[in-house]
Every structure is written in structure tokens, then in C-alpha cells.
């Protein structure tokens, strides 16, 4: 790794860089858990008491293969970092948590750099970026973001490709009958159809990443455990805001979030941008029973009517994908996957956990 990346690794766990001196990037992106949250809270607690992040903390693995946000030639939104794609690079992204009052809660760039000056990593920072760097806050802040980015780009831990599935692809491990069946269901366009978005074929000489980094509206249920949701008028609309500001007028994109990789997904519960679904089996079950049995996922109102897609205002519920398999169904239809098939898909997803030893 470069000197900047080595430094970035230390800064990633440097708790000096938060309002309380108790939180670092690693508090929410734990290297011992594939750089995902270390616990199963819906959304992580912030550094300051009473605060919490607005969304589930994703694993930071395999992000080096992502690109900045853009509309593809056919208009498909693609790429960018965070669940709504608003950060163009990993460096841009890193400024978010440092300055977010609900995360590391520093008050300004100057505040961060003043803390960096007091950090055990100050001397190394000056060694890498120049002896006067900490006297130039804007430059120092930019170098801090760069170092954090280089760590994520260069450290092989962020893209180990060491799952059972990778070993199987290389002919060095055997999948069980259930795992193989799950893989077939995952790929089958008329069954799970998962690979339509969570691409299971390698692209550009890389092993498969299980995401195409596009966006889709899945209509995940509202999560009452999230503080912001106490306000019935608050909605996290993903691409169209309010966290992201530039696409507010494109209301056809309201409710769309970026397709995450499914590598290591067995270890990163709870699921989806708001952590509303607690187990991997339920995440798979949600896909196939959302439309056949909506009452299993959404609350009913006082008239007994199921509030389908209740985490979106009524005006945007039509944005939810109801045309592709497996969610092209209605009550009374058979779900695209049976219970035993769901178990097979879960078995397959378990083969995507890195660090497999035969």
C-alpha cells in the first residue's frame, strides 16, 4: 500500500476525529465484520447522545469497482457512493460522516483539523503530506479524505474475493446440492431473477460483484425504530431526497436506492437502506411475498386496509417496481419461490461470505 493508504488505515480507526473522541469510521464499518456495522441496530448511533445516522451502515467492501453517479445512455441512474449515490468518490464520501451532526459530529473542517493536530497520527500525517500541512486546514482536510480513500482502494481486505463461491468458481471448493439449487434460482429470470440487478457473472475480468450499481424502488416497509420516522411526514426518498438534493424534481426516482453488493450479506443484518428487515431469510422472502402476501410486511390502517409501500408518500408508490420477476405478482398468486426454495437461495447467499476455508 502507498504511504497515504497506510496512514488512511490508521485514520480510519482514529477516534480523536469525532466530537466525543470515542467514534471513528470503524465504529460503524468494522474490519472484523467485512467493514459493515458491528451490531444489528437498524441504523448506527451517532457520537453525540440522542443522535443516530439516517440509514443502515453498509459494508465498505468492493466499492473500488464502483464509479461516480451518472445517467446511462438509456437514462438508467447508475453509480455514486451511499445508498442514494450522492458522493462522487470515496474521498468525497468521507467528509460526510466527519461533519454530519448525526455521525462523527465535528462542527467544521477547521474543527476536524484541530483534532487531527492533537491525534497520535499527526506526526505521520505531516511526514506524508508536508510539515506545514496542518496549518492549512482546507488542504489538510482534503488530504485526510484522500488518505481514507486510498486505504479503501488499496487495502486488499476491501476486496478479498475469498468466499466459498469464489473458491468454487476457481474449482477449489464444492457447493452443496442446496447451494447449487439456490444459485440456479438466484439466476433464473422466472424464479428469483436476483441476478438481473445483483449480477452474478464477472464483468471486465473481475469476479462477480453481485451488484450493477443501478437504482431501484423496492417499497421496503417503513422502519418505526428510526427516530426520524417518528414524524409521519418524514420520508427518506433516496435519489430524490431529502438527503440528496439535486434530483428533487425527478419525482419518478423517489424511493429508488442503489443496489448493494450481496457479498458478505449473511453477516450484515439488518437489511435494506432502513434496516427494516432483520434476517436474510426474510429479505429473500420479502421479494417473493411482498405482492402475494402484503399483509405479512405492511401494517393495516383502521379500516383494515394494508398500507402497501408505507415508507413512501401515496403519490410515489407507483414508482415501486412491480413489473419484473419476482415481484410481478398479486394476492392469490403463488410466490415466485417456495419456502424450501427460499432456504436454498439463503444457502447460496451464505457462500458469498469472504474468508472461507474448505
259 binds ligand HEC (CB under 6 A): yes
Choose which of 9, 14, 19, 58 interacts with ligand HEC (CB under 6 A).
Answer: 58
Cα separation, 57 vs 46, in Å, equals 12
Shortest distance (Å) from residue 98 CB to ligand HEC: 5
268 binds ligand HEC (CB under 6 A): yes
Choose which of 15, 126, 321, 322 interacts with ligand HEC (CB under 6 A).
Answer: 321
The region, left, alpha or beta by phi > 0 then psi within -120 to 50, assigned to residue 235 is beta
Of 106, 90, 161, the C-alpha closest to 351 is 161
Choose which of 260, 289, 335, 352 interacts with ligand HEC (CB under 6 A).
Answer: 260
Residues in contact with 253: Cβ distance below 8 Å, sequence separation at least 6, in sequence order: 77, 215, 238, 239, 240, 247, 319
Site for ligand HEC in 69-88 (CB under 6 A): 81-84
Shortest distance (Å) from residue 357 CB to ligand HEC: 24
Shortest distance (Å) from residue 252 CB to ligand HEC: 15
Site for ligand HEC in 117-146 (CB under 6 A): none
Closer CB to ligand HEC, 35 or 172, in the complex: 35
Taking CA atoms, 158 is separated from 63, 68, 127, 168, in Å, by 8, 18, 25, 20
Binding mask 203-232 for ligand HEC (x = CB under 6 A): -------------x-x-x------------
242 preceded by a cis bond (ω within 30 of 0): yes
* Pair 210, 200: CB distance under 8 Å: yes
Choose which of 14, 30, 103, 179 interacts with ligand HEC (CB under 6 A).
Answer: 103
* Pair 273, 56: CB distance under 8 Å: yes
347 binds ligand HEC (CB under 6 A): no
Closer CB to ligand HEC, 4 or 28, in the complex: 28
Binding mask 158-197 for ligand HEC (x = CB under 6 A): ----------------------------------xxx-xx
- Contact range with ligand HEC by CB under 6 A, out of 20-28, 122-130, 162-170, 298-306: 20-28
Closer CB to ligand HEC, 165 or 272, in the complex: 272
324 binds ligand HEC (CB under 6 A): yes
Burial 100-120 (b: 16+ CB within 10 A, else e): bebbbbbeebebbbebbeebe
* Pair 255, 305: CB distance under 8 Å: no
Choose which of 5, 23, 133, 226 interacts with ligand HEC (CB under 6 A).
Answer: 23
Closer CB to ligand HEC, 120 or 305, in the complex: 120
Choose which of 112, 183, 247, 283 interacts with ligand HEC (CB under 6 A).
Answer: 283
Residues in contact with 158: Cβ distance below 8 Å, sequence separation at least 6, in sequence order: 35, 60, 61, 62, 63, 64, 152
Site for ligand HEC in 286-315 (CB under 6 A): 287
* Pair 103, 96: CB distance under 8 Å: yes
Of 37, 317, 69, the C-alpha closest to 215 is 69
The region, left, alpha or beta by phi > 0 then psi within -120 to 50, assigned to residue 34 is left
Residues in the chain: 358
Of 76, 79, 113, 75, the C-alpha closest to 93 is 79
106 binds ligand HEC (CB under 6 A): no
Name the site residues for ligand HEC (rule: CB under 6 A). Answer: 23, 25, 27-29, 44, 46, 53, 55, 57-58, 60, 63, 81-84, 90, 93-94, 97-98, 103-104, 148, 192-194, 196-198, 216, 218, 220, 243, 257, 259-260, 262, 265, 268, 271-273, 283-284, 287, 321, 324, 326, 345
Amino acid at each position: 500500500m502507498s504511504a497515504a493508504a497506510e496512514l488512511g488505515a490508521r485514520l480510519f480507526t482514529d477516534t480523536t476525529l469525532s466530537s466525543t473522541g470515542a467514534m471513528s469510521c470503524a465504529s460503524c464499518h468494522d474490519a472484523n465484520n467485512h467493514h459493515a456495522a458491528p451490531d444489528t441496530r437498524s441504523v448506527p448511533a451517532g457520537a453525540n447522545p440522542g443522535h443516530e445516522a439516517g440509514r443502515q451502515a453498509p459494508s465498505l467492501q468492493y466499492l473500488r469497482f464502483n464509479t461516480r453517479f451518472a445517467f446511462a445512455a438509456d437514462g438508467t441512474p447508475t453509480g455514486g457512493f451511499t445508498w442514494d449515490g450522492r458522493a462522487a468518490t470515496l474521498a468525497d464520501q468521507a467528509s460526510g460522516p466527519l461533519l454530519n451532526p448525526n455521525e462523527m459530529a465535528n462542527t467544521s473542517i477547521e474543527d476536524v483539523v484541530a483534532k487531527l493536530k492533537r491525534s497520535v497520527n499527526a506526526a505521520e500525517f505531516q511526514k506524508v503530506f508536508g510539515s506545514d500541512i496542518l496549518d492549512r486546514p482546507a488542504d489538510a482536510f482534503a488530504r485526510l479524505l484522500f488518505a481514507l480513500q486510498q486505504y479503501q482502494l488499496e487495502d486488499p481486505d476491501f476486496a478479498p474475493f475469498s468466499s466459498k463461491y469464489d473458491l468454487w468458481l476457481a474449482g477449489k471448493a464444492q457447493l452443496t446440492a442446496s447451494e447449487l439449487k439456490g444459485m440456479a434460482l438466484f439466476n433464473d429470470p422466472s424464479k428469483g431473477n436476483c441476478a438481473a440487478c445483483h449480477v452474478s457473472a464477472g464483468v471486465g475480468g473481475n469476479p462477480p460483484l453481485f451488484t450493477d450499481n443501478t437504482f431501484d424502488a423496492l417499497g421496503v416497509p417503513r422502519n418505526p425504530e428510526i427516530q426520524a420516522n417518528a414524524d409521519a411526514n418524514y420520508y427518506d426518498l433516496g435519489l430524490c431526497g431529502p438527503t440528496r438534493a439535486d434530483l428533487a424534481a425527478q419525482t419518478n426516482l423517489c424511493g429508488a436506492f442503489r443496489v448493494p453488493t450481496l457479498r458478505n450479506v449473511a453477516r450484515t443484518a439488518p437489511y435494506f437502506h432502513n434496516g427494516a428487515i432483520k434476517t436474510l431469510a426474510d429479505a429473500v422472502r420479502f421479494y417473493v411475498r411482498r405482492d402475494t402476501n402484503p399483509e405479512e410486511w405492511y401494517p393495516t390502517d383502521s379500516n383494515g386496509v394494508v398500507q402497501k409501500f408505507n415508507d413512501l408518500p401515496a403519490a410515489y408508490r407507483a414508482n415501486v417496481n412491480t413489473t419484473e420477476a419476482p415481484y410481478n405478482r398479486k394476492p392469490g398468486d403463488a410466490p415466485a419461490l417456495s419456502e424450501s426454495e427460499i432456504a436454498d437461495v439463503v444457502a447460496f447467499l451464505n457462500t458469498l461470505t469472504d474468508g472461507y476455508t474448505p
